[in-house]
Structure 1
């Protein structure tokens, strides 16, 4: 197991070198410029996300599709992932994670627009879409569409499955002493009940759990920031300094340098908000929407909530807590920093346990849907049942898997998935601009398009 972990880490480190960081962040910047800083429409997009698009074709509401995508993104990446990024890359990783979210809004917009534009109907008449359909129908590169779908299926067993189940069982074991195998069995059973109900059941559960738990977690973060009030300004200064300086000193800890901060900040940012990864568009393609731009606007709010808000707050909570009590964090493991930060709040361990468990559970549901759609694309709907069985089995095994192996495997799969998706987004950026000009810049957001029906 140790040898396997080292091999996977070496592959992950190679993949997440300068070329991938440049391609990922470069795509975010390129689309931000080409789309005239589409991030300025964020509040309009938030309004659209809670406005039903009546009479439009699709399997779930716009908010249902957003909730499903948010369920898959708001999870351990926001809590444990940020903690790991700080441990490995120093406080400066928080800023790179945040910047990946800010500029990644444009990429999430673009890939979701393409998913709706190139979506189609499956053999049962339901709307399906995502990068595999975008690549096949937009670029006519069947081989790369198959590659993306295959990589996504494999990735679901890491980022959406074992990472989440391990996080739940670990935090429940730490807080309540429940054996990890027991909590793993409970999580597997609850997941099976929802997953077997299909996309509509997943969307209904996510619509109820995600907004409530997001607010609950944010209130917990605000309470800790109030306790750490005197350390907020120094923490912000240290985060900025650590992102651009060779060393980040302060509060008794040393950062990992500019490259480490950039590498782990961006990797955890992608793990958290999935902008450029290509998964959220699979959910966006099922939405009831008049045209591709409306759903693209709604989808991009997922990155705003996930990284610009939740990840940033987690990072500030951890760094300010480290500065407030550096001795408490000395020798802390990668996944323990957020837990130590929440220990400053009365009953904070219970707040974190509940938030992390619910976030991870909804992530399990969202990623199972992504995997099903890719399996359907590769092998047809008949293969979905077999995939569900394997997914649930791996879900349980994740509770006893090495965390280092799980995280490195997830980083590796994320990078491999992102490549074909980013290539398609860049090559079809002209289509994104054309659609945006017609519906958004020229004021036709209420106009129906042929692609949505």
Structure 2
């Protein structure tokens, strides 16, 4: 598993974590925002009218209403990215990461408008009578680039596991275990059965389920978040100030947090923003292609609401909960995961400025870092390392009160470490360190009016968020499989999708997140390339929509 994680990190280093990727993602959004004259602002009010059905035409082709298409797409985006993803971004990038998530969402509103409009325009009716759309169809039918369409469709299938399947159940199982003491395998087994019952019914059943889950989960989560934010009301303004003040300078060290440079916060904020709202990834257009609409632009306008709801509202609430509660800089007792641990030569402490600078440089991958991984053998007695010559870093922080266990009992014997990694796979490591992902958000939710009961809100919210995401992504995957292999291949895909869902309940969290990071970019790059080529057609299509819209309104008045 460690080898797989290292391979995924290497790929991510060339893709999503590379310095060029955030500029490409934001650059495309910025270009279309200016080129189309800020549609995310000008069409925002119109979008709410369309989604309420004000301009619906009963004879329009499609399988779902505008609202159902929106909630299906939202169920695919509002998931662990809003709970665990925001926490992970702040954990490694500091408050500044939240600012760059906002920027990604603002420009992403336009990107999503473009990709949904073009995908809806070139959708098709499949052999079973349902609608199928997405970037692979405009790539094939309009650009005549079947090779690019195939690449995107394959990437979508991979991403359906790496984004919508594996991280979702992994976070659910982890949360349920820490909150209710439920075994991950039990959680995975029960939810896999429920997942199968939903997705076997196709888009009609998926749309009905998500249109009910999304409003419920949003209500529960917002109430819980506000209970924390207003409980810590004195920290609201300082938290917001830190978001903006650190945006172009990076976040300084605070508590157990070792600090992050501007480049690191920018990269992680944009990356987590994409994972959260998926603007530019090309996933949401697949859901919107099923909407009953004869005007592709009308559905594109509806999609503008997604990044706003997903990131500007939900992610902001999560971010303010974490920042105002202060738990993001505090060390807590927890079990360490192998992929989170690094053993470094020498003794370091996060209370000394020089040590903090050295460790921070190492963690962000700076070439100037003088910290070296540790290799050697250490004697452990009754769970405690004897005179260690290393510093253990866990979750980007200096670990404290570290205990080594085997089968829940203190370990005594030799412990081998090679190039900063623990060799003894049977050892369980516990201690105090920073938290990240869903565990950090869960801890933050206990610092409000509901006290320790707040963790149940996160667990229930995460269950609903993540489960609905898995449902939506199964649809994205089966539309991609339909394009590649035809309708007959959909059922085998769904079976395999459910099997992966069960497996991921007991997989390593860090490995799952890294797989998701790679899969996202494999979808995003072909899609961004495609919509840029069609920029002129997009502008003409939008102009024609408004000409027809105002003409029809004039005729109705006459």
Indicate the TM-score class for this superposition, using the shorter chain for normalisation. Answer: over 0.9
Distance across 1 between alignment mates of 2:264 and 2:152: 28
1:450 corresponds in structure 2 to: none
For residue 418 of structure 1, the aligned residue among 524, 527, 548 is 524
CA distance 1:69–1:305, shift in 2 (3 Å): same
Distance across 2 between alignment mates of 1:25 and 1:441: 30
* Greater per-residue helix proportion: 1
1:302 is displaced (CA, Å) by: 1.1
1:54 corresponds in structure 2 to: 57
1:358 corresponds in structure 2 to: 464
1:292-441 paired onto structure 2 within 5 Å: 292-322=296-326, 326=330, 331-335=433-437, 336-345=439-448, 346=450, 347-440=453-546
Report which of the two structures shows the higher radius of gyration computed on alpha carbons.
Answer: 2
**Counterpart of 2:247 in 1: which secondary structure?**
helix
CA distance 1:324–1:183, shift in 2 (3 Å): closer
Distance across 1 between alignment mates of 2:550 and 2:508: 51
**Counterpart of 1:245 in 2: which secondary structure?**
coil
Preserved contact between residue 151 and residue 416 of structure 1 (Cα < 8 Å): yes
CA distance 1:14–1:203, shift in 2 (3 Å): same
Runs of 4+ in 1 over 6 A off after TM superposition: none
What value does the CA root-mean-square deviation take over the aligned residues?
1.8
1:69 is displaced (CA, Å) by: 0.4
For residue 279 of structure 2, the aligned residue among 264, 275, 280 is 275
CA distance 1:327–1:125, shift in 2 (3 Å): closer
Preserved contact between residue 128 and residue 487 of structure 2 (Cα < 8 Å): no
* Greater per-residue strand proportion: 2
1:20 corresponds in structure 2 to: 21
Distance across 1 between alignment mates of 2:46 and 2:224: 27
- TM-score, structure 1 as length reference: 0.95
1:326 is displaced (CA, Å) by: 4.2
1:226 is displaced (CA, Å) by: 0.3
Preserved contact between residue 107 and residue 275 of structure 1 (Cα < 8 Å): yes
**Counterpart of 2:272 in 1: which secondary structure?**
helix
Matched, 1:29 2:30: yes
1:81 corresponds in structure 2 to: 85
1:11 corresponds in structure 2 to: 11
Matched, 1:93 2:97: yes
1:300-355 Cα distance to aligned partner (Å, 9 max, x none): 21111001111111111111111798466972222222111101131211111111
For residue 245 of structure 2, the aligned residue among 212, 236, 241 is 241
Distance across 2 between alignment mates of 1:350 and 1:291: 43
Distance across 2 between alignment mates of 1:162 and 1:390: 12
1:251 is displaced (CA, Å) by: 6.1
Matched, 1:162 2:185: no
1:401-450 Cα distance to aligned partner (Å, 9 max, x none): 11111111101110111000000111111111111112237744969xxx
Distance across 2 between alignment mates of 1:182 and 1:402: 17
**Counterpart of 1:253 in 2: which secondary structure?**
coil
Preserved contact between residue 250 and residue 265 of structure 2 (Cα < 8 Å): no
- The alignment of Structure 1 onto Structure 2 pairs a total of residues equal to 447
1:65-214 paired onto structure 2 within 5 Å: 65-214=69-218
2:409 corresponds in structure 1 to: none
CA distance 1:446–1:401, shift in 2 (3 Å): farther
Distance across 1 between alignment mates of 2:260 and 2:230: 28
Distance across 1 between alignment mates of 2:110 and 2:244: 23
Preserved contact between residue 238 and residue 248 of structure 1 (Cα < 8 Å): no
- TM-score, structure 2 as length reference: 0.78
1:241 is displaced (CA, Å) by: 2.4
1:451 corresponds in structure 2 to: none
Distance across 2 between alignment mates of 1:446 and 1:106: 25
1:254-298 Cα distance to aligned partner (Å, 9 max, x none): 432111111111111111101000000001111001301110011
Preserved contact between residue 276 and residue 421 of structure 1 (Cα < 8 Å): yes
Structure 1 unaligned runs (5+)? 448-453
Distance across 1 between alignment mates of 2:543 and 2:101: 30
**Counterpart of 2:211 in 1: which secondary structure?**
helix
Distance across 2 between alignment mates of 1:230 and 1:243: 22
Preserved contact between residue 257 and residue 328 of structure 2 (Cα < 8 Å): no
